[in-house]
Amino acid sequence: MEYRKLGNSELQLSAITYGAFAIGGTMWGGTEKKDSIESVQASIDQGVTTIDTAPFYGFGLSEEMIGEAIKPYDRSKIQLLTKFGLVWDGSNNGKGDFFFDADDNGKKVPIYKYSSKENVIKEVEESLKRLQTDYIDLLQIHWPDSTTPISETMEAVEKLIQQGKIKAFGVSNYNVAQIQEAQKTVQIASNQVAYSMLNRSIESDLIPFTVAENIGIIAYSPMERGLLTGKYFLDSKLKENDHRNGYFGKFDQQQVKTLIEELSSLANNKYISISQLVLRWTTLQKGIAIVLAGARNAEQAISNAKAMDFDLSASELDFINQAIAKIK
């Protein structure tokens, strides 16, 4: 495993980071607690010391399972990344930006983007209890909230840093202007944004800015929620309440299938999986600090970690980039 300094912070994070959205179960067709905990522990055993989660993932369940999973380990050698700002329990009293209705076992749960000073403090205290820890290595705002001044949100963050409850702060899904506004109050260590072979829009403006400002990019959805594994072209069925039934529809399926077929030749020659090839490519892109990889069981977790066990040569990277360039 490779460990990287996150932007201007003092944090050293594993290049492959455990992404804990799926194990929460919400929007992912449920979860198996035993498998989920084993996947976290298998990741740690393979050198993945960094775990990224959020209160919204399973409405607290993801954080709770991570808190349980890391008990046997030395907390000082594990980096916990979590977030705030997506409210589902009605505690916002209708304030904030309505985001969407999440499916919770057939029940619609309204989700709001809400990052008032009071709510930030409240959510962090709840996360600390679920994670069974007294500090968070990297706290992140989950999504921008247009109803709360960024300065107010950052004042809460500054207080948490002073109290020692968080070591560093990052944003998520922020554009350049929003980061610049946040930086007036708090040092921004990172920006967590979607990035993949099929979604490279951040390369035009965000990456040049974050590189210049020494802000690390945390790439989420590098596998496009499993689409780039290729298994969904092999009659793999999704549960009815899995959000990917609609999500995958935004891509040209034939083009994605062709890309996977082209990359398979290289993967086979290197005795690696398509998933490992995709993850490794992502870690090598300019400005990318760490890459989130989800896992539902120990086998997937081990495979993700082993994406750092090989290198890609300049000619291999050229081959991959040429294949990607054919996607319209």
Q: Which residues are catalytic, by number?
A: 57
Angle at 66 between CA 1 and CA 112, to 5 degrees: 110
Is 28 strand, coil or helix? Answer: strand
Q: How far is residue 261's CA from residue 149's CA, in Å, rounded to a whole number?
A: 47
Q: How far is residue 66's CA from residue 103's CA, in Å, rounded to a whole number?
A: 22
Distant-in-sequence, close-in-space partners of 159: CB < 8 Å, separation ≥ 6: 121
Q: What are the beta bridge partners of residue 16?
A: 291
Dihedral sign for Cα 203, 209, 212, 213, please: negative
DSSP code, position 75: G
Q: How far is residue 105's CA from residue 162's CA, in Å, rounded to a whole number?
A: 40
Tokens, residue 286: 């300019």
Distant-in-sequence, close-in-space partners of 98: CB < 8 Å, separation ≥ 6: 110, 111, 112
Q: How far is residue 309's CA from residue 94's CA, in Å, rounded to a whole number?
A: 48
Radius of gyration of the CA atoms of the chain, in A: 19
